[in-house]
Amino acid sequence: MSSLILLFGCLGLGLLLQRAKDFPKNAAQVLNQFIIYISLPALALYFIPEVALTLQVLLPVGVAWICFAAAALLFWGLGRLFGWSGKLVGCLILTAGLGNTSFIGFPVIEALYGKEGLRTAILVDQPGSFMVLSTLGIALAATYAKGEASAKAILHRIFRFPPFIAFVLAILLNLFNLHFSADMKEVFQRLGSTVSPLALASVGLQLRLERRSKHWGFLGLGLAFQLLLAPFIILALYFWGFGVTGEVLEISVLEAGMAPMITASIVAASYGLKPRLANMMVGFGIPLSFLTLAFWYWVLQLL
């Protein structure tokens, strides 16, 4: 119960702080940078060295790759069929194909499954959502914006991203069976625990609901994929296809149905891929996702 209070409380706090005149305008960006440079790397170093590397680990890792591929196939096909512009197609693939598996995902999973659930959630996010955005996402954005995304530029982005550096280090520690001391683990745990409150406050600070727009139809289509179709694809593939059950299945399905990724919408906007639609996907997707996540959680309890 305390995790749910924290979740909605910090989100509401962020919304209230939008109206505080003396609060820094760039506060959301500062919070995001702290999360990226400190909180997420700490989580990776706390959890991943202790994860048992089995074939089952591939299931949460595969969530983002599968959903992004499905979004690319669907919206590319619809774009060809209805003659949509490349910028519209690119925007929909980026914002509907990538979920907010960390900023929203971590607090939700922690609230439902406790800190142990974060072991699975971080696998969905780090080698999953983050890697997809940093590679396929950047390449796709540059392509639809008629820019260039060289292999060198993509690799440069990846290898300079702090959570990725921490992820690689954590994997190496795991493979060589090396572990941090109890004191260091406690430090990483405390730093990692800042993800939920800071991320939710950041999301609240950035929520913008644009009521006057010509993008309502595309918004509905994008959110229908992200919040309903994507989790159904993972449920069908993992449960009926692979016979997966338990927490791994539940967390994978719920992470697949998270609201659109804020970072993906920022990338879409920075490349000129329908910035207003990208912002609407996040602004409307986040509050709606709490309703659809409740629905999927109910469905999963019936299995």
The pTM assigned to this predicted structure is 0.82
Is residue 53 over pLDDT 80?
no
pLDDT value of position 150? 65
Helix, strand, coil percentages (3-state) for the chain, rounded to 5, are 80, 0, 20
Split at pLDDT 50, 70, 90, the class of 239 is: very high
First to last CA, the chain: 24
Q: Which residue has the tokens 């709606």?
A: 288
pLDDT value of position 196? 77
Residue type, 275: P
pLDDT value of position 176? 92
pLDDT value of position 103? 78
Cα–Cα distance for residue pair 200/14, rounded to 1 Å: 7
pLDDT value of position 227? 98
Cα–Cα distance for residue pair 50/182, rounded to 1 Å: 12
Residue of higher predicted confidence among 135 and 68: 68
Split at pLDDT 50, 70, 90, the class of 138 is: confident
Cα–Cα distance for residue pair 231/253, rounded to 1 Å: 5
Residue of higher predicted confidence among 302 and 279: 302
Cα–Cα distance for residue pair 248/51, rounded to 1 Å: 13
pLDDT value of position 213? 66
Is residue 148 over pLDDT 60?
no
Residue of higher predicted confidence among 55 and 116: 116
pLDDT value of position 245? 92
Is residue 211 over pLDDT 80?
no
Contact partners, residue 29, CB within 8 Å, separation at least 6 = none
Phi-psi domain of 39 (left: phi exceeds 0; alpha: psi -120 through 50; beta: other): alpha
pLDDT value of position 198? 87
Contact partners, residue 92, CB within 8 Å, separation at least 6 = 71, 75, 218, 221, 222, 277
Average pLDDT over residues 14-36: 87
Chain mean pLDDT for the chain: 87
Split at pLDDT 50, 70, 90, the class of 254 is: very high
Other residues' Cβ atoms within 10 Å of the Cβ of residue 300: 18
pLDDT value of position 47? 82
Domains of the chain: which residue ranges?
Answer: 2-18+52-302
Average pLDDT over residues 180-204: 89
Average pLDDT over residues 138-145: 83
pLDDT value of position 48? 83
Split at pLDDT 50, 70, 90, the class of 289 is: very high
Split at pLDDT 50, 70, 90, the class of 130 is: confident
Cα–Cα distance for residue pair 82/89, rounded to 1 Å: 11
Structure tokens at 22: 């003396």
Average pLDDT over residues 62-71: 97
Identify the CATH assignment for 2-18+52-302 out of 3.30.450, 1.25.40, 1.20.1530, 2.60.60: 1.20.1530
pLDDT value of position 260? 93
Residue of higher predicted confidence among 153 and 26: 26
